[in-house]
Amino acid sequence: MDQDLHCTAERELLEAVSRITTSSTTSPSDEEENQPNAEISCQVRKENPEKDDTQDSSATLSPNSSMTTKELQEYWRNEKRQCKQIKLLFEIPSTRIVEHHLSKYVMYKIIILQTGSFDSSKSVIERRYSDFEKLHRNLLEEFSEEMEDVTFPKKTLTGNFTEEIINERKLAFKDYLRLLYSMKYIRRSKKFIDFLTRPELQEAYGCLRGGQYTKALEILLEVIGLQERLTRGNPVSVVPTLCAIVVCHKDLENAASAFEYGEKALSRLRVHTSHRYYIPLLETMITLAYELGKDFLSLQEKLEEWKTKKDPIRVFTLKELAVREYVQ
C-alpha cells in the first residue's frame, strides 16, 4: 500500500512539473509584445541553433519517469529559481570629447542595468558614434526586415560637438539600444553582444598575451558579468572568459580564486565534454586541486574516462587556448 501511494505521489508530481515545463516553453508572443524588454530566462525554446560556441547549446535537465520524488522536487525548485523576468536597461548619462592626434570624437558612457532579480550590479562601457554606426550597418545586413523601422541618428556636416547635438544623440542612442534589445533575435545575436563586450575583451586578451595579468583580470572581471546577462540562454559562450580568468589567477598565484572560476566553467561544460576547453580545463583543475589539497581524483577519473572514449589528439593547454582568443 505504501509503495502504491509513493508511486502515485511521484506520478502526480511528475505530471505537475511536466505541465509547468510545457507552459514555460510556449512562445510568449503576446507577453513579449507588451513587455518588449523582458527576457524570460526559463524559456527553453531556441531560435537559429548553431553548432559553434557562440550559439545556444545549453542542455538542461528535464523531468522524466526515472527521476525520484526527491529529484523531481529539486528540479521544480530550480525551475522556480530560474523563471524570473530579466531585462536590461540602458542609460547614457554622460559623454566626453576625445582629441587624439588629428582626430576628434565623442565617447558616450553607457550604463547597463539589470532588473527583475536580486542582482543590483551594473556594467559601464564607452562607445563612439562610429561604433554605433558599424553596429547598425552589420545588423542591417543580417536583420533587414527587423531593422526596417529602426532609425539611426545621421551625421551632420557641422555642429557634431555642440552640446545640443550631443544631448540629442545621447537620447537617440539610448532609445536605439532599448529598441534593439526589445527584439529577441537581435538581442541574442553575436553582432549585438559583440558591440557591448568585444572591445573590452580584446583589450583584456591583449594584456593577457603581454603578461599583464593584473590588468587583464581587472577587465575580465568587469566584462564577465555583462556577458552572463547577455547570454543567459547560452551559458557555454562565457566559458572562454571564465577560463581566461582562471589563467590570470593561476599566473598571479591565486590558486583558490583560479579553482573557484574553474568550477564555474566546468559546470557549464558538464554536458559539453567535446568543447575545446573541456580537457585543458580539467587538466588545470587537477593541478589546482592537488595544490589546494582538494579532491582531484574525481577530476582525474573524468579525464581518464574522456581519454578512453576519444581518439588521442593534440590538446592545447588552457593558457595556450586563452592567448589565441581575439587574435586578429
Residue 300, C-beta contacts closer than 8 angstroms, at least 6 positions apart: 286
Pair 89, 41: CB distance under 8 Å: no
Q: Which of 10-14, 58-62, 255-259 has the lowest mean pLDDT?
A: 58-62
Q: Binning pLDDT at 50, 70 and 90, where does residue 317 land?
A: very high
- Could you state, in order of their start, the residue ranges of all structural domains in the chain? 87-188, 199-324
Q: Binning pLDDT at 50, 70 and 90, where does residue 65 land?
A: low
CATH code assigned to 199-324: 1.25.40.10
This prediction has a pTM of: 0.73
Tell me how far CA of residue 3 lies from CA of 6, 71, 79, in angstroms: 5, 17, 27
Mean pLDDT for 49-65 is 44
Q: Which of 34-43, 66-75, 142-151, 276-285 has the lowest mean pLDDT?
A: 34-43
Topology of domain 87-188, per CATH? PX Domain (3.30.1520)
**Would you list the DSSP string of 87-114?**
EEEEEEEEEEEEEETTEEEEEEEEEEEE
Cα–Cα dist 318/309, whole Å: 21
Share of the chain above pLDDT 70, in %: 71
Q: Which of 97-106, 200-209, 259-268 has the lowest mean pLDDT?
A: 97-106
Cα–Cα dist 217/104, whole Å: 30
Say yes or no to pLDDT of 233 above 90.
Answer: no
The answer to whether domain 87-188 and domain 199-324 are alike in fold is no
Q: Residues of 52-73 as b/e, b for ≥16 C-beta within 10 angstroms?
A: ebebbbbeeeebeeebeeeebe
Say yes or no to pLDDT of 237 above 70.
Answer: yes
